[in-house]
């Protein structure tokens, strides 16, 4: 069932994949080229045979059988730790192209020339599930883009929700634990899940997205993503603006209902990876348009919404979208472990013209990624082909396991009489705010205004999409009904704070499920025919209206509070 359309394996000695996998072709110049070898490059007579005394199945094997030793020993070391979050993912190659001039707000070299293309690799992921988990589950989707610019690697790490559940970095471990498995039973635990959110209600806006059908996209090609955090576009004169990025699919937004997502998860847990892989093998080139919300620092200082609060969006009427590029995918990876699993993204991979901001979540993220990657991939993960920039040089960072870039005799200290390298004095440090103040231990507090954008999402956005309010209620009820009564009660109060009718409907639907009195089964859908129909061209027109709705959610955002 669900076999991929294209074979990826192409034999051992003389096959060659469409994408150029290196598997050696005998050319006569190197005697062992084109044949299987041991690790040191010596020919193997029979890779499937094992050395023994006597030509029989009953035998004691010999330790001198280097082929067998190497095969088994390599296999037992094949696995590396999976990512702490975003463990389940897939990837693709393509490019970023500048479509519109944006050089008035950034000096980033790769954005200076309309039409210029920058090579790009993307890894798509779910967040909470483990590496082998089903892909169509209710979750945020991760979009991690790696662009190989001439001035270094720039990573954009975005999510399919326009908001994040936390705005205090120290809460990330609690959020992560609560959305994974119960530490005692090893099972997913809905009591734990809702108990976390009941006690951290600034996440309410995020929850509204998570329990809408937006959190069950049919695949990655039919989803948008958002930077959420504010970053900075900087100029070489030292000036800057804040910026949020929106990446909108040109395939149209297409979501499963909960029932459809569940059926597909059972039929084909790899559905999203397969869909992307098959599309690229078939020569399709999925694309996304890239927009910036430009935020003047003066305006940000007095704006009623704190632009560094990752639980909030910024209204388009005050911060219109400005298109400046597009992302096109055109090629599958050749080796999913080498490229997808070993890829290492970080918001600290920045280039001149793009900078971090004082957003506390982005500041926390600045320490997390390269740190976990040293654990997950080893200290020299940046030297792996998928991660290494075109050029990098820093003789003060050297050695460590698996060093394969030689820095020669360059002094490993600084300054030195014998150093013959310069520094990039032409790059001005961006003017940053001047920081002066007392050290405080700050934790953001929940205020009524934290419910305002969630309320708009319920009363305006979902209300404007036929059936979506009903789906939202049944999505929450289906999940919440597995939590214990004392937790359910607090959750009803939380949704009542968004909207009294919403709270009442969730309570009624959930308690009906708990009491086992829910008689109406979820509508049956014919998934196989639906999947068969899912062609990009068909979906484009059909889903354009949903697409527009998705992006208009923050048109209505209130501006009545400031968290700082």
DSSP string spanning 402-450?
A: T--S--TT--SSSS-TT------TTSPPPP-PPP------------GGG
Greatest alpha-carbon pair distance for the chain in Å reads 86
- Between the alpha carbon of residue 246 and those of residues 333, 530, 550, 551, the distances in Å are 25, 29, 12, 9
Instruction: State the nearest-atom distance from the C-beta of 390 to ligand HEM, in Å.
Output: 20
Q: Which is nearer to ligand HEM, 349 or 481 (CB)?
A: 349
Q: x/- site string to ligand HEM, residues 107 to 126, per CB under 6 A?
A: ----------------x-x-
Instruction: State the nearest-atom distance from the C-beta of 331 to ligand HEM, in Å.
Output: 18
- Between the alpha carbon of residue 459 and those of residues 74, 185, 254, 477, the distances in Å are 57, 39, 22, 19
Interface with ligand HEM: number of residues (CB under 6 A): 30
Q: Which is nearer to ligand HEM, 59 or 84 (CB)?
A: 84
**Dihedral pair phi/psi, residue 457, rounded to 5°:** -60, -40
CA-to-CA distance for 527 and 533, rounded, in angstroms?
10
Torsion angle of the four alpha carbons 302, 305, 308, 312, in this order, in degrees rounded to the nearest 10:
-170
Is residue 228 part of the contact set for ligand HEM (CB under 6 A)?
A: yes
Instruction: State the nearest-atom distance from the C-beta of 168 to ligand HEM, in Å.
Output: 9
Is residue 338 part of the contact set for ligand HEM (CB under 6 A)?
A: no
Q: Which is nearer to ligand HEM, 86 or 547 (CB)?
A: 86
The contacts of residue 396 (CB under 8 Å, 6+ apart) are 412, 413, 414
Per the annotation, the verdict on 86 as an active-site residue is yes
Is residue 165 part of the contact set for ligand HEM (CB under 6 A)?
A: no
C-beta nearest to ligand HEM: residue: 142
Instruction: State the nearest-atom distance from the C-beta of 259 to ligand HEM, in Å.
Output: 28
List 305, 344, 351, 546, residue binding ligand HEM (CB under 6 A): 344
Q: Which listed residue (86, 93, 205, 547) is catalytic?
A: 86
Q: Terminal CA-to-CA distance of the chain, rounded, Å?
A: 54
Which residue in 247, 255, 259, 246 sits closest to 222, CA to CA?
Answer: 255
Token representation of residue 405: 């870039």
Q: x/- site string to ligand HEM, residues 349 to 368, per CB under 6 A?
A: ------------x--xx--x
Cis preceding linkage at 415, omega within 30: yes
Instruction: State the nearest-atom distance from the C-beta of 401 to ligand HEM, in Å.
Output: 18
**Is 196 marked as binding a ligand?**
no
Instruction: State the nearest-atom distance from the C-beta of 81 to ligand HEM, in Å.
Output: 8
Which residue in 21, 98, 6 sits closest to 284, CA to CA?
Answer: 6
Q: x/- site string to ligand HEM, residues 249 to 288, per CB under 6 A?
A: ----------------------------------------
Is residue 374 part of the contact set for ligand HEM (CB under 6 A)?
A: no
Q: Which helix (H) or strand (E) holds 531?
A: helix 527-533
Q: Which is nearer to ligand HEM, 365 or 455 (CB)?
A: 365
- Between the alpha carbon of residue 293 and those of residues 114, 185, 296, 313, 548, the distances in Å are 19, 45, 10, 11, 17
Number of H helices, E strands in the chain: 14, 10
Just list the catalytic residues.
Answer: 86
Give the residue numbers of the binding site. 369
The site for ligand HEM (CB under 6 A) is made up of 83-86, 89, 123, 125, 142-144, 157-159, 164, 169, 172, 228-229, 310, 343-345, 361, 364-365, 368-369, 372-373, 376
Give the residue numbers of the binding site for heme. 369
């Amino acid at each position: 069932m669900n076999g991929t359309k294209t074979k990826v394996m192409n034999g051992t000695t003389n096959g060659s994949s469409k994408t150029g996998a290196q598997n050696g072709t005998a050319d006569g110049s190197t005697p062992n080229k084109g044949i299987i070898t041991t690790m040191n490059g010596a020919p193997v007579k029979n890779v499937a045979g094992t050395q023994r005394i006597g030509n029989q199945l009953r035998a004691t094997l010999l330790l001198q059988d280097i082929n067998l030793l190497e095969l088994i020993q390599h296999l037992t070391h094949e696995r590396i730790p999976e990512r702490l979050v975003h463990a389940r993912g897939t990837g693709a190659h393509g490019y970023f192209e500048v479509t519109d001039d944006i050089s008035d707000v950034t000096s980033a070299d790769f954005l200076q020339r309309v039409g210029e293309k920058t090579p790009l690799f993307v890894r798509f992921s779910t967040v909470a599930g483990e590496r082998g988990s089903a892909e169509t589950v209710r979750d945020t989707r991760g979009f991690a883009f790696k662009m190989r610019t001439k001035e270094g690697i720039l990573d954009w790490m975005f999510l399919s929700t326009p908001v994040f559940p936390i705005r205090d970095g120290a809460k990330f471990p609690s959020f992560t634990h609560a959305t994974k498995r119960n530490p005692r039973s090893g099972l997913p635990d809905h009591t734990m899940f809702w108990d976390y959110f009941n006690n951290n209600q600034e996440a309410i806006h995020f929850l509204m997205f998570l329990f809408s059908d937006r959190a069950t996209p049919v695949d990655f090609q039919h989803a948008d993503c958002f930077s959420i955090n504010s970053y900075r576009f900087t100029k070489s004169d030292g000036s800057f603006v804040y910026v949020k990025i929106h990446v909108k699919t040109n395939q149209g937004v297409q979501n499963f209902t909960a029932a459809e997502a569940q059926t597909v998860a059972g039929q084909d847990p790899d559905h999203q990876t397969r869909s992307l892989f098959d599309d690229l093998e078939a020569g399709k080139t999925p694309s996304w348009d890239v927009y910036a919300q430009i935020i003047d620092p003066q305006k940000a200082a007095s704006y009623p919404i704190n632009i560094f609060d990752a639980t909030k969006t910024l209204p388009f009427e005050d911060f219109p979208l400005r298109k400046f590029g597009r992302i096109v995918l055109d090629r599958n990876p050749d080796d999913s472990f080498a490229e997808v699993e070993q890829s290492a993204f970080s918001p600290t991979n920045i280039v001149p013209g793009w900078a971090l901001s004082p957003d506390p979540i982005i500041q926390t993220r600045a320490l997390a990624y390269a740190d976990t990657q040293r654990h997950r991939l080893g200290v020299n993960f940046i030297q792996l082909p998928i991660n290494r920039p075109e050029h990098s040089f820093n003789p003060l960072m050297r050695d460590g396991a698996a060093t394969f870039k030689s820095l020669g005799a360059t002094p490993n200290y600084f300054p030195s009489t014998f150093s013959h390298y310069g520094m990039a004095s032409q790059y001005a440090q961006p003017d940053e705010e001047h920081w002066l103040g007392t050290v405080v231990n700050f934790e953001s507090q929940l205020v009524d205004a934290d419910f305002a954008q969630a309320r708009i999402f319920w009363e305006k956005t979902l209300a404007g999409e036929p059936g979506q309010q009903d789906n939202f209620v049944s999505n929450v009820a289906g999940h919440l009904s597995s939590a214990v009564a004392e937790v359910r009660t607090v959750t009803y109060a939380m949704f009542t704070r968004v909207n009294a009718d919403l709270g009442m409907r969730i309570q009624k639907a959930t308690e009906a499920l708990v009491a086992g009195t829910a008689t109406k089964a979820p509508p049956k859908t014919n998934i196989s025919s639906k999947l068969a129909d899912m062609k990009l061209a068909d979906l484009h027109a059909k889903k354009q209206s949903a697409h527009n709705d998705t992006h208009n959610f923050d048109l209505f955002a209130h501006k009545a509070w400031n968290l700082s």
